[in-house]
Amino acid sequence: MGGRTVSDIGAPRPRLYAEAVRGRSVLVAGLGRSGMAAADGLLECDARVLVVDDSDTEANREKAQILRTLGAEVRLGAGSTAELPEGIELVVASPGLRPSTPLLAAAEAAGVPIWSEIELAWQVSAAPLPAPERTPWLAVTGTNGKTTTVEMCAAMLTAAGNRVALVGNVGRPVMEALLDTDVRYDVFVVELSSFQLHYSHSLQLHSAAVLNLAPDHLEWHASLEEYAADKASIYQRVTHSCVYNVDDPVTERMVEEADVTEGARAIGFTLGTPGMSMLGVVDDLLVDRAFIEQRKTSALELAEVGEVQPNAPHNIANALAAAALARSFGVPATAVRDGLRALELGGHRIQTVATGDGVTWVDDSKATNPAAAATSMLAFDPIVWIAGGQAKGTSFDELLPRVADRLRGAVLLGVDRELVRDALSRHAPDVPVIVIDNPETGAMTEAVAAAAELAGPGDTVLLAPGCASLDMFRSYGARGDAFADAVRAHLGDDPDRSTEDDEPDQH
């Protein structure tokens, strides 16, 4: 579950800068991993802590026991988050709670500050120190590619000999890393979602990147404009480099409109030949024309394009963004190359599961919105597409005209399967569609069998759902595992597949 166990209580702890929260009555809304870390850090800073969560599970009761031992009050069960208790001076919100949640709406109306766990971590790690003395944070946001990019950046920094904390939306809370007793980090690499940025207002990052912007999470944000504004806030107060996507002009406009620290630079990345102050691609090489003295006339080789795996165009863009952040921190060019060579990405990202009967089966369960599905689908032709799940308020009307001529067929499942079918009927009416109405996780076995009926030699069956997974699965990883298991069962567990897929993916 992350964080401390009962046996850890009493162990030496690092010093936090507690003045922002000492003595305040703080409500932590949500007892997930970030909520647990936030409560732990608040107690370390001598705040008065109340934790609430509507879910009274065994795991939450376990965490509640630890927090009560440390001095927190914990309320579990239905209705725990229904209202704002009297006397609360600060709320730390779980990223899963929408601003319209009654507790958060009440705090907003009462003028009670609402922070993310990210904001709390920044406040207690940095408040009394001038920026040059703080442990630097390099941060990444964007609709797609965040996790891959921070993993690449961390690998590059590690290759240069830095002690790196890989934290944020990637899985480990920042506060949890701050409370580590056995290491002092040189740099934090932070993945930030729009949810986390929504309630973060004072970050002063060393460097930050917005990878791209496409409609997503419109069930959480009031509008696409609000979603974009939350993403753009990552650039505010940046001290060194604002990294943007040359091929996604909205990210450049975000940099132009940001109130950055004097001297901060705009650094572009592109799959084409880079201009000055950019990183890009020349003759199958990743090159840097931003962090070299001769950037007006020359470029520095960082790595070969072939050293980026998987070698899809959008992943090469991720590598360039990661390199820009790492280079902004001063790593040598060799560390970019060595980091890419050493990196082992998590599963479910354009991962070939198996080949059999001339058909290639590819798992890109990480493609949880239409824009991510598009980047995956454009890498293959022809395709039998497995899609569906929770659409999160997004539309497939922009995706399908781009990929319709690649589709051999489509298999749809999940709660918003009809939304995808309607879009297919508008933009690809001749493509055969099979709809799986089974709402249980076993539907994936039916989907694989249906895809096999549609696919022929030379085709790729691609799981790129364009939707979130939680309507049927506990995570996109569980969905990808179900796909891989169903494929192998369908092929008799004896396909011609790559050896790295013989073991379950770790995610």
Per the CB < 8 A criterion, the answer to whether 121 and 41 are in contact is yes
Q: Is 141 annotated as a binding residue?
A: no
Q: Is 499 annotated as a binding residue?
A: no
Q: Which two tokens stand for residue 170?
A: 């990637």
d(CA 478, CA 418): 22
Q: Is 212 annotated as a binding residue?
A: no
Q: Which residue has the tokens 């020359």?
A: 298
Q: Is 297 annotated as a binding residue?
A: no
- What strands lie across the sheet with 407-412, from one edge to the other? 351-356, 359-363, 460-463, 383-387, 407-412, 433-435
Q: Is 144 annotated as a binding residue?
A: yes
d(CA 168, CA 200): 12
Q: Is 441 annotated as a binding residue?
A: no
Q: Coil, strand, or helix at residue 227?
A: helix
Q: Which residue has the tokens 């309320």?
A: 75
Compute how many other C-beta atoms are within 10 angstroms of the C-beta atom of residue 382. 15
Compute how many other C-beta atoms are within 10 angstroms of the C-beta atom of residue 229. 16
Residue from 293, 285, 249, 240 nearest 267 by CA? 240
DSSP type of residue 207: E
The residues pairing with 385 across neighbouring beta strands, listed in sequence order, are 410, 462
Sign of torsion, CA 306 309 314 316?
A: negative
Q: Is 146 annotated as a binding residue?
A: yes
Q: Which residue has the tokens 């022809």?
A: 382
Binding residues: 142-148
Binding residues for ATP: 142-148
